[in-house]
Structure 1
Amino acid sequence: MAIIVTGSSGLLGSALVRALRADGTRVVRLVRRAPQGADESFWNPGKGLIDPAALQGAQAVVHLAGAGINDRRWNDDFKREVVRSRVEGTRTLVKALTELPVKPRALLSASAIGFYGDTGDREVDETAPPGAGFLAQDVVVPWEAETVPAEEAGIRVALLRTGLVLSGEGGMLPKLLPIFKLGLGAPLGSGGQYWSWISIDDWVGAVLHILNNQEISGPVNLTAPEPATNAEFTKALGEAVHRPTMPLAVPGFALRTAIGGFAEEGVLTGQRVMPRRLLESGYTFRHTRLSEALAAVL
C-alpha cells in the first residue's frame, strides 16, 4: 500500500517523501507536469483532473499543494490564486477520494496557524475559534471546509495547522540569513508579535506520528511548545550566526511599503499557538527550544 503526496516538490513535501521512503514506504507523488516515473501521477487540480487509479489502494493521502503565501507581493490577483490553489486542489482531491470503492484510511491536509488570526500574547490551541483577516477567513476557513466530505465518507481527516517551519533548505530562514550574517538583523514592528515555529525535523516527525496514530483527527497544531516573540527570534538567530543585531526595530510602515499586505498579516501580527493535540497524543519533540532548533537546521 502507498502513501499519496501532493505538493511533494516543496520544502515540506520533499522532506516528508525522503522520510517515508527511508522507512521503506511506497510513495506516489501527484504532480502537475508529465510524470517521470512509476511513482508519479499527473493531476490538474484547477481543472478537476486526477487519475483515480493512482489513488486506489492507497493507505493514506498527505495533501500539501498550494501557492506559497509570500511568493509574490499581495495584490487582488495573487490573493485569489492563494485561495484558489488551496480550495480547488482540496476539492478535486477529496471528490476523487470519496468516489473510490475502497477509500484510504486517512487524509492529512495542509492548513496554517493563520486560522487563529492575530492572537496577541494570548495562548491558543486547537479548540480556539477562527480569527479575523484574509488568512483566517478567506484562506484557511474555506480551505479546511473542503475536507468535510472526506470525513463524512468515513476517512480520518487531520488538518495540519503549520507554523513557521525552520529549515536551512527553504522557507523564511534562508531569506533572513544573509541579512543577519551582515549584522543587520532587527526586530520587525513592535517585536512583541509571537512567531510560532517548528523545526523541519519535528514537522516531519509530527506528520509521521499523525499518520501512524489512528486516534488523531481534526485540527492539529504543528508548532513547537515554546513560541517566541519576534524580538526573541531576532536575538536567537543573531546568536546562532554569531553576529550582533540592530537595536532599533524596522518600523511597521516601512514593512508595509516594502512587502505590502503580507506584512500586516504575516509579519507584524502573530499567533501564540500551543501544540496541545500533539503533546496529548504522546509526540516527543526533538527541538523545544528555539536556540536548539536553529543550531540543528543551520
Structure 2
Amino acid sequence: MNYLITGGTGLIGQALIKSIDFKGNTVTVLTRNIETASLRLTSDVNFIDELLLSDIEHSDIVINLAGEPIADKRWTREQKNKICESRWNITAQITHLISIAQKPPHVLISGSAIGIYGRQNNNPIDENFSDFHQEFTHDVCAKWEKNALAAISTETRVAILRTGIVLDRESGALAKMILPFKLGVGGKISHGGQFMSWIHLEDMVSAIIHIIGNDDLSGPINMTSPNAVSNKTFSQALAKSLHRPCFLMTPAPLLKLIFGEMAELLLFGQNVVPQKLLNNGFTFKHNDIESALTDLLK
C-alpha cells in the first residue's frame, strides 16, 4: 500500500508512521521542511514539499493530519488565521486533486477534533449529536470537515477523525502537565467539573489502522476513550500516578488573564463517546484514565 501523509512530524503522525510495516508499503510525507522532517522520521520515508496530482494518483491511502497546534499560543487574530488556514487550505487542495484524479485513493482519513461540538454539558454525546455550540473551535472543525467530505465518491471513502485529548508522555497536553504536578503544584482547573475526552496515543494509532481496514467506517468518527472523566478526576489520577498531592486549584479568571479566549479549551469540555468504533468492534487497550496514565508514566 502507498501512504501519503500530511502532518507526519506531529504527535499522531510520528507514532502512526512508526507503526507501519515498510515491507510492501511506502510512506510519503508532505512537509514544509524536508531537512527537519528527515531528522524526526525514519529514513524509509519519502519526502515531498509540494503536493502534485501524481502524488495523489500514486497513493492508496491519504492521511491528512496537518494543522497549526491549536493550544500552543494565545488566540490573536493572526494566530486564529494560522489555525484555520493550515487546516482548511491543505484539505481543500487534497480533495480537489482527488476529485480530478484518474486514479483516486481508496480512502482519505482527515483530521478534525471534538471541538466541533463546542462547549457542552456532561451528557454523553456520540457522532449523531448535532446540537453544536457555535464558537471558534466549532467553526474551525466544521469547515475542515466540509472540505474533507467533498472528496467522497464511489472510489474514495472519507473518514473524519474527531480527536480528543491525545495522551503521550513526550508531547501534547499531558507532557505539559507533568512538570507542575511533579513539583506538587498541579490541581484541578476552576471547579473541575468540565469533562475531558481523552485517548491514549497507542489507541489513537490502533484506531486509525482499524479505520483503514474497515470499509464500514466513514464520515465523522469520535477518537476518544469510551470513558471521559471530569477535570478533577483526571487531575487526581495524574497526581496519584506521579505520587504527588492534588489540592490546588487554578481559578478561571487567572486562566482568562493569561490565555484570553484560548482559556475556554481548559474551562469547558465535552463527554464524547466513540460509538462508531465500539459498534465496529474496535477494542480499546486503555479504557480508564488510571491505567492509561500508569502505562504512560511508568
Tell whether the structures are fold-level matches, with TM greater than 0.5. Answer: yes
**Which amino acid in 2 is paired with 1:40?**
F
After TM superposition, the structure 1 = structure 2 runs for residues 1-298 of structure 1, keeping only pairs within 5 Å, are 1-21=1-21, 25-34=25-34, 39-43=46-50, 50-129=51-130, 130-136=132-138, 138-152=139-153, 154-246=155-247, 248-264=248-264, 266-298=265-297
Q: Displacement, 1:196?
A: 0.3
Q: Secondary structure of the residue that 2:145 maps to in structure 1?
A: helix
Q: For 1:77-128, what per-residue CA distance to the aligned partner results, in whole angstroms no more than 9, with x for missing partners?
A: 1011111111111001111122210111100000000011111111100001
Distance 1:212 1:152 in 2: 18
**CA deviation after TM superposition for structure 1 residue 26, in Å:** 1.8
Code of the residue aligned with 1:132 in structure 2: it is Q
Q: Residues 24 and 178 of structure 1: is their aligned pair in 2 closer, same or farther, counting only changes over 3 Å?
A: farther
TM score, norm. by length of structure 2: 0.93
SS in 2 for 1:224: coil
Task: Return the offset for 1:21.
Answer: 3.2
- Offset of residue 23 of structure 1: 7.1
Partner of 1:47: none
Kept in 1, the 8 Å contact 2:255–2:263? The answer is yes
Give the number of equivalent residue pairs.
289
- For residues 285 and 22 of structure 2, the distance between their equivalents in structure 1, rounded to whole angstroms, comes to 18
| TM-aligned CA deviation for residue 154 of structure 1 | 3.9
Q: Give the Cα separation in 2 of the matches to 1:30 and 1:267.
A: 31
1:4–1:60 CA contact under 8 A, matched in 2:
yes
What is the distance in 1 between the residues matched to 2:172 and 2:24? 27
Task: Give the residue type in structure 2 aligned to 1:256.
Answer: K
Distance 2:165 2:23 in 1: 26
Tell me the alpha carbon deviations over residues 26-64 of structure 1, each in whole angstroms, 9 at most, x when there is no partner. Answer: 211111134767711122xxxxxx222222231111100
Greater Cα offset, 183-192 or 19-28: 19-28
CA contact (8 A) 2:105 2:155 kept: no
Q: TM-score, normalised by structure 1?
A: 0.93
How far does the alpha carbon of each residue in 1:142-185 deviate from its partner, in whole angstroms, 9 at most, with x for none?
11010132014641000000000000120011111110001111
What are structure 1's unaligned runs of at least 5 residues? 44-49
Contact 2:119 2:269 in 1 (8 A): yes
Q: Which residue identity lines up with residue 111 of structure 2 in the other structure?
A: A
* One-letter amino acid matched to 1:13: G
Whole-Å Cα distance in 2 between the matches of residues 166 and 34 of structure 1? 27
Whether the aligned pair in 1 keeps the contact of 2:57 and 2:103 (CA below 8 Å) is yes
- Partner secondary structure for residue 162 of structure 2: strand
How many Å apart are 1:67 and its aligned residue?
0.3
C-alpha distance 106-259 of structure 1, shift in aligned 2 (>3 A):
same
